[in-house]
Structure formats: C-alpha cells, structure tokens
Structure 1
Amino acid sequence: MGIPRIAFFFVVISLVLFAASFYMGRRVKQAFGLSVRAERAGLVVVLGSVVAMILARALGLRPLGEVAFTLLLALLISTGLLLLVDLAKLGALPFKWLASRAKPTPAHAPEPVLALATEPAAPAPAPVEPPALEPAKAEAEATPALPTRRDFLTQAVTGSALLVGSGSSFYGAVFGRHDYVIEEVPVRIPGLSKRLDGYTLVQLSDIHFGTFVGDAEMRAAEELVRKARPDRIVLTGDLLDNDAKYAEMLGRFVRNIAPLARDGVVAIPGNHDWYAGIDEVVAALKAAGARVLRNDGFVIGDEKDGFSLLGVEDVWARRLSPGNGPNLDAALARVPKDLPRVLLCHNPVFFPEAAGQVALQLSGHTHGGQVNLGALQPGKLVLPYGYVAGLYERNGSRLWVNRGFGTAGPPARVGAPPEVTRVVLVSA
C-alpha cells in the first residue's frame, strides 16, 4: 500500500476515533457526571492509542499495537451500541407524538359562581412566618434526591455499552483471534468423475502475515492443515498484510505445508498482497514451490476424468494497476471446455460474474465480518450482495466464503472464528 493511501487511511480512522471519543465522553458525562478533567483524560488516552497504533504498524511493535487496538476497539464497539440506542429513540419519536395527540382532552371543571359582595371585604390576614425546621427535618431536606427512573436507565444503558464493548474487545484480542476451527464443506460438483469423488481442497485465506500474525500463528496453521489431510492446498489471497518484508515468512510457511498435501499448493493474490508488493509476494510463493494462478488454470486429474482449477486476479487490481484485474475468460481459455470447474477468487463480489460458468468458487476477503455481536453483523450491511461467510448459491453455482485465518485492522475476532476450510468435492 503506497504512503499516500496509508496516510489517508490513518487520517480517516483517527477522525472516526476522535468523533467516537467525543460522543462517548458526552454520554458518560450525562450518565455519571464525568468531570471535565476526566473527559480530557479520556481524549488523551484515545490520542495516545492512535499514536501507538501508528507506531506499532510502522515499527512492528506487536505488544504496543495489541494494547492500543484493544482500547480503540472497545471504544468503537461501545459507541456503536449507544448509537443504536439513540437511533431507536429517534425512531420512536413519531410514535410518541402520535400517542400524545391521541390522548383525550380532559374535561374542564365548572367555573366558580361569584357571590355578590354585601359587606365590605375583610382585610387580608397578615402573613404567618413558617415555623423553624427542627434539625432532623432540615438535614432530611438537605439530602440529595434519589436518581429518577430516567437517570437510572441512562446509567444502565451507558454502563452496559461500556461493559460489552470492553469485554468483547478483550475477548476478541486475547482469545477470539486464536479460536481456530476446521470447517468441513462437502460440495457436489456436477460432472465430477467418480475417480475424483472425495478429492479434498484445504483452503486458507487472509492469513495477513505481518505485525500481528507471526511464527505462533504459522505453527497453528500448519497443525490445522495437517489435521485436515488435504489432497491439495489452496491459498486464496491476502497472504501478507501490508509489508513486503514478511514475504520471507510466507515462503517459509508454503515450504512447511507443501509436504502435507499430496498434490502441493496453489495460490492466488488478494488486495493486501498488492498493497504489500505483488511482485515480492508472487516471487516468494513461486520460490517456495507454489503454483500461482493469475487469470490462469490447469487440469487436476486428466482431460477425461479430471476437473479444472482456475484462479483469477483480485478485483482491486483494476484500481491499483490499470490493465490488471480478474479475467475469467482468459483462465477458461487455458482448460478444456467440457470439464467441471472450480474457481479461486479472493473477493466474493466476483461471484455474480462467475456464476453459471463454474461449479464452485472459493473466496475469502470478508473475514466473516471479523467483529460481530450476536445478530449484529455489520458486514452484511456494507458488503455487496451480503456475501460474508459460508455457502451461497447463484445460477446453479456455489460460493464458499472463508472467514480467513488472520486479522486486518484490530488484531481481534468476535463472533467470527478464524478458519481452515476442508472442501470435499463430491461427484453428483
């Protein structure tokens, strides 16, 4: 990723974080009477965390970055929850107004009948001084009033948002991002030969080797691949995070896992591989013995009983390098027309274009949303077609979206456990 793009990214993120900090400060002050000094201290913590985040990325300071990102993620989750509450309140305003208009008008009390004055009015009595309060009564009246129901609800909502935000961020950073699973996905492939029934593709995606994904995560991935017993390993992009210096680690990883698969390793690039340096990523993969597919394909098995494995370039390559980008027609031209086809494409947004031309597309990119809170899955709102994680179908074709293995942005996962997918091809 170029320097201007990185700078723009951090400026936008910093503005969002400071806006969230200001909003959260106002809400906490309203709920708990936060002092001005405490409010300023919160802004200083946010500023320090943003600076620490940038330094951690630039200098590879993993512990510093993990602390900073955990604090900032807690802020964002808490802010998001409170914003949902405020939006619900705004949505309820029209109904409250209609309810108030529908209330019956109270009946007017009869006006008092004035008596005719027959005698001169008596003089007004002199004001009577109130009796002095006894000490016990004076003390009772000086005691502050108990919080109202509205105050209690405000404190409960704000406190709950802070608790959920902080707890979720801590869990995601310490446990969630290491809660690895192997997903087994049998997929029927029309026309697949019985000789290849049960052929297993083990998919890893979005490893993001970098500041927050290193040797420990690499060893965990190797062990999961060993347990999955692949015929062939497919790596579907975003193998590096944003720095080409980690290409050596990627090459080492490929050399370690290649002997675990009978037929070796196939890889395609993702958008982060372009940000880090596409030439360095491809060179590391090829030097380690992986076959890299960029608008290319080949036959697994033979031309009579095999199937075609295709790979296309990432969709973001169109913006990053004019003239590049996914070209399914070029890949199809490299294989026989009458064989079943399995496509590797990093971004699932390409599926509508590939649907009807391939039996199965394997993608990643989305991280399964990476941070989800129960039914709250922001990825479904912002990702095209709602392809976030799992199996989808369109025009007779299937799409599997892998949740990825590493992390991007905050090194945390909530409600989106990292996965290795064991795709078992079944003859239909």
Structure 2
Amino acid sequence: MSINFRFIIPFLVFILLDVYAFQTFRVVTKPYSPQWRQFLFITYWSLSAIAYVIGIGMITNLISEKQHLITVYGRTLIMILFVTKLMSIPFLLIDDIRRLLLAVLNFFMVEKNFDTGRSRFLTTVGLAMGAAPFALLTYGALRNPYRYRLRRSKVYIEGLPEGLEGFKIVQISDIHSGSFVFKEPLLNGVKMINEEKADLVVFTGDIVNYKADEMDGLYEYFNQIKPGSAGPVYSILGNHDYGNYYRWKSKKEQDDNFQAVKDIHKKLNWSLLLNEHRVVEHDGAKIGLIGVENFSALPQFPKYGDLKKSVEGMPATDIRILLSHDPTHWDFEVNKEFQDIQLMLAGHTHGFQFGVEIPGWFKWSPSQMVFKQWAGLYQKGKQYLYVNRGFGFLGYAGRVGILPEITSLTLTGKVE
C-alpha cells in the first residue's frame, strides 16, 4: 500500500476545520428537540465520515482513478464540505476573540462577570454563511455539469474580405475527459456544436486531466462532432495534456502517455497544431491559422509554445487567427510583437466554474484574481481575444453561475 503524502496535511487541516465548524451546529441547535438535534448531528458527521473514508482511500491509493464515480464525486463532496466550513469559521474566530477579551476583563474586574459563552448571533451568521455555499455548490454539481450554453459573438475585423464576411467559427475548449462520469449528456453539447453549421471548428486544449486512457469510451461521442466547411477540426494542447500533474513511474511512461494524448486527436480526425500553421481557404479568401503548444505568462504553468516558430514560412493571408490555450499569452507577446494576428482563441480558466454573469451589466469570478482576461471577448486596438469558459470541468464536478460553453464567433467587416 503506497501513501500519497502530499494530501496528508490538507486532510488533517480538513479534520480540524470540521471539529471547529461543528460549534455552529452545536450552538444554533440548542433550542431544538433532542430528536431533531440528533438527526442534524448524525447528518453532519455522516457526510464528514464519507469524506474522511474517501480521503483516506485516495491518500493510501486504495481508491484508484478507475473507481471513477467515487473519485470524481468524492473530490466534489470534499471540496463542498471544505468551502462550507471555511466560510463559517471567520465568525467563530470573531466570537472566540470576543470571548477571550471578556475572559480577560473578568480576570481583572472581579466585580464584573461578563458572559463568555458563544454568541448565538455570530454562530447563526456563521452557519448561514456556510449553508449558502453548501446549497449553491450542491446545486451546481447536480444541475450544471452538462448544461451547455451556446454563446454567440460578432468579431469586427477591419478590411475583412467579402469571402470571409459571416465566416463562422465554433470553439470548444477544456474537455477534461477524465472528469466525465455520465456520457450520454455529452451528446447535447455535440448536437449544439453541429447545429451551428460552422465554417471552422476548433478545440483549444486540455482534452484530458492527466492520462490518455481517460478518453476510452468517449470517442464515439466526440467523433460525432462535424468539421467545418473549410476543413477539419483544428486543435491544440493545453497544460493538462502533457501529464505534468501525475506521478509517473518513469520518464518513459510519461513520454508514452504524451504520445498517446497526441494520438487522441488523430483518432478523432482532428488536425493537431504543434507550434505550426495552416492556411485555410474559403470563398477565395485565405486564413492563416496558427496553433501553439501551451504557453503561459504565469510561472506555475508550462511554456512549450513558440509563436515565432509557428509563423515561420507562413505565406500572406487575409487574416490570422491564433489558437493558444492560456489567455495570458495574449498580453505577454501576442498584442505586443504579433499585431498582425487579428484574433486569438483561448480557454484554460473555466471561469473558475464559479461566478456571476449578468449580460451587459456585471461579470465576476474568483478567476479574475489570477487572469486579466478570463471569459468572453476582449479587444485591444484591432486585435481580439476570446476566452472560452470550458466544455468540461475539473476537480469540482459542477458549475455555479459559469456554465459549460460552446462558442460561436461570426467574423464581419461591417460596422453596425
């Protein structure tokens, strides 16, 4: 039995949070009947016990990735409970500071006797602050993982030739095949892609979480994606496709997996671009389509992309479109050194799978604390970036406010 030591400390922290957060339950339920209180206590610790068992199973590798349902939803349960209790704790800490100050006053002021018991108000607020994310995250896991949303945008390109007026690009990104427990709902997304009748279909990276065999059993679904009228489905790699986040037995095993990941694209009849370009022709016009390997401006993500190499020997075209998984690539060099690239398509952020979007008015997600461009269409001068919110999910098997996305972009040279 091997032990995954990197999870031990987080697991111990989770247990401490659990015991501490239980104080909210203990105080708030005091007025309840013994039977009702017992039921709530059993529910609280039963959910925690399930999370403990799954956590221990993962730490000791007794639960393997092959036990797919348990690993995917086990991680999700652990994340939901962790966030729930983490949100409750600040109010318990405030209450404990208050109690400590009152205890000090009681020590020095003998004639006074301040109540150092827990504040029912603060613990109730703490419980409510924990209950809200519990409800939201549970709903997001049960309702939203396969609730695909089609997002349409127009991209104005000055001097666009008539042959590309109305040219439609459908983009998907971040499939993360290792996260899918249920397969049939994928067909809803495939149907939405095909119904757009695109001229060009592209995929912008992260076809797996870690391993190529995650796609086993999924080819029959993704093979139903119809290519655009202007050529095959064009694709690139994302940071997860290199296998850097998995503990391999040897370098050779990782290299073999990486080759197998690249072979996935062949099996899907997709044209994988590895720091290279293609010229796509449509109605007498030419598109220079560039695809780079993963490149990020952030230090924690790999830098395999080489944009200079990708455009070497590229003939003159009417427009240039770049496929690059990480949106930080745009500000890092695309809009500084490659201003002849009119449109870049990216993914990677997932919109954090959590946020609030009110079209035309308000857009927020924790993702924006890391990524300047994290979802939707952005413009700088005559260049555009579109960041897809992702087709799949990772870690938390759900989405709250940021639904899985299929992007449909229409090119136009006409000012509305």
TM-score (norm 2): 0.75
Q: Map of 1:18-97 to 2, 5 A cutoff?
A: 18-29=15-26, 31-32=28-29, 44-51=49-56, 58-65=64-71, 67-82=73-88
Whether 1:195 and 2:200 are equivalent positions in the alignment is no
Return the offset for 1:287: 3.5
Note closer, same or farther for the CA distance 1:412–1:86 as it changes in structure 2 (3 Å cut).
same
Provide the rounded CA distance (Å) in 2 between the counterparts of 1:294 and 1:218.
27
| Paired AA for residue 329 in structure 1 | K
- State which of 227, 237, 241 in structure 2 corresponds to 1:269: 237
Return the offset for 1:261: 5.2
Q: Is the 8 A contact 1:296 1:312 kept in 2?
A: yes
Secondary structure of 1:346's counterpart equals coil
Provide the rounded CA distance (Å) in 2 between the counterparts of 1:192 and 1:80.
52
Return the offset for 1:29: 4.4
Corresponding position of 1:378: 366
Secondary structure of 1:309's counterpart equals strand
Return the offset for 1:210: 1.6
Offset from partner CA, 1:259-296 (integer Å, 9 cap, x none):
56552200001111112733112112123321111111
Corresponding position of 2:319: 340
Secondary structure of 1:361's counterpart equals strand
Provide the rounded CA distance (Å) in 2 between the counterparts of 1:426 and 1:8.
54
Provide the rounded CA distance (Å) in 2 between the counterparts of 1:46 and 1:248.
28
Structure 2, unpaired ranges of 5+: 31-36, 99-114, 247-256, 358-362
Corresponding position of 1:314: 294
Q: Is the 8 A contact 1:186 1:424 kept in 2?
A: yes
Provide the rounded CA distance (Å) in 2 between the counterparts of 1:402 and 1:321.
18
Same amino acid, percent of matched pairs = 26
Give the count of matched residue pairs.
365
| Paired AA for residue 179 in structure 1 | R
Whether 1:368 and 2:347 are equivalent positions in the alignment is no
Provide the rounded CA distance (Å) in 2 between the counterparts of 1:156 and 1:60.
41
Corresponding position of 2:406: 420
Return the offset for 1:31: 4.9
| Paired AA for residue 331 in structure 1 | S
Note closer, same or farther for the CA distance 1:79–1:355 as it changes in structure 2 (3 Å cut).
farther
| Paired AA for residue 21 in structure 1 | D
Secondary structure of 1:301's counterpart equals strand
Corresponding position of 1:401: 387
Corresponding position of 1:328: 307
Provide the rounded CA distance (Å) in 2 between the counterparts of 1:414 and 1:344.
27
Provide the rounded CA distance (Å) in 2 between the counterparts of 1:372 and 1:355.
27
| Paired AA for residue 362 in structure 1 | L
Secondary structure of 1:24's counterpart equals helix
Structure 1, unpaired ranges of 5+: 94-146
Q: Is the 8 A contact 2:171 2:406 kept in 1?
A: yes
More deviation, 274-283/150-159 = 150-159
Offset from partner CA, 1:38-95 (integer Å, 9 cap, x none):
79777644412423566697243343345423432322332343356679x69xx9xx
Note closer, same or farther for the CA distance 1:45–1:73 as it changes in structure 2 (3 Å cut).
same
Return the offset for 1:325: 0.8
Offset from partner CA, 1:131-183 (integer Å, 9 cap, x none):
xxxxxxxxxxxxxxxx9998342243123123212211221111021221100
Q: CA RMSD in A?
A: 3.9
Provide the rounded CA distance (Å) in 2 between the counterparts of 1:320 and 1:378.
18
Secondary structure of 1:409's counterpart equals coil
Return the offset for 1:222: 1.4
Q: Map of 1:107-186 to 2, 5 A cutoff?
A: 151-186=119-154
Provide the rounded CA distance (Å) in 2 between the counterparts of 1:420 and 1:199.
17
Provide the rounded CA distance (Å) in 2 between the counterparts of 1:224 and 1:304.
28
| Paired AA for residue 396 in structure 1 | K
Secondary structure of 1:406's counterpart equals coil
Return the offset for 1:25: 3.1
Return the offset for 1:217: 3.9
Provide the rounded CA distance (Å) in 2 between the counterparts of 1:261 and 1:70.
40
Return the offset for 1:247: 3.6
Secondary structure of 2:176's counterpart equals coil
More helix by share: 1
Q: Is the 8 A contact 2:163 2:284 kept in 1?
A: no
Secondary structure of 2:285's counterpart equals coil
Provide the rounded CA distance (Å) in 1 between the counterparts of 2:170 and 2:334.
21
More deviation, 262-271/341-350 = 262-271
Provide the rounded CA distance (Å) in 1 between the counterparts of 2:157 and 2:129.
46
TM-score (norm 1): 0.73
Return the offset for 1:204: 0.8
Q: Is the 8 A contact 1:53 1:68 kept in 2?
A: no
Provide the rounded CA distance (Å) in 2 between the counterparts of 1:314 and 1:337.
25
More deviation, 208-217/234-243 = 208-217
Provide the rounded CA distance (Å) in 1 between the counterparts of 2:295 and 2:167.
28
